[in-house]
Structure 1
């Protein structure tokens, strides 16, 4: 069973804003002749890399709610210019929206077992077409 990560998407107001930011970063890399891959840099290096890269995702908490995920392709540890250990979480550039799941603030990232991760949105009768604010309010009330 795949293992996931969960992280706060600091400074991001919506899934659409995150999508726009990712697209911009990929376009900038392509313009510089770099590989068109997307990654997130983090200080701590996960220890359970094989479980994460075996089908895991990074779930994003936006404004206190898990709203989307990105498939985790690779984990690449490195040392920055100051000699500090960091890693790149290499992610698929496309986002998969998930059912809302409220989360309290935390620092860094956390492991997220598959059984605790919100399901993707996309099936018939799903709440994907519901207005964002309504989905948020119903989720906060425990009705979604």
Structure 2
């Protein structure tokens, strides 16, 4: 069973803003650099995704396709998390911000919005979170 990573999307205002940033990359994959290589790298590479926290909610995920060691100029050794630029919206789940990344077990990961049916993707994240807290989603 894969394990996922969880990270705050710093400077991202909304899911639409995030989509615009992804479109601007115009590539199939991108690499996000972080300081530490996951100790559970095998599990992450077995189908894991990087789940992004946007404005206090886990809002989207990007499938991880690789991890690589890198040395960044003036910053030393880092880990490159290689992901598809595909941004998959998920059912918003409230989450406090944190530094760096955290592991997210598969059973704790929110489902993709596409699994909820037609029209779910148009709902504001706050409304979806409220419906989820009421047990309606």
Superposed pair shares fold, TM > 0.5: yes
Q: CA deviation at 1:82?
A: 2.5
Q: Note if 1:142 corresponds to 2:129.
A: no
Distance 1:105 1:126, change over 3 A: same
Aligned length: 134
TM-score, structure 1 normalization: 0.83
Q: Quick one: distance in 2 between partners of 1:77 and 1:4?
A: 18
- Normalized per residue, which structure has more strand? 2
Contact 1:26 1:38 in 2 (8 A): no
Asked if residue 78 in structure 1 is aligned to residue 64 in structure 2, the reply is: no
Q: Which moved more, 1:123-132 or 1:72-81?
A: 123-132
Moved over 2 A (4+): 123-136
Match of 1:22 in 2: 22
Unaligned 5+ segments in structure 1 are: 28-35
Gaps of 5+ in 2: none
- Taking only aligned residues, the RMSD between alpha carbons, in angstroms, comes to 2.0
Could you tell me how far apart the structure 2 residues matched to 1:20 and 1:126 are?
A: 21
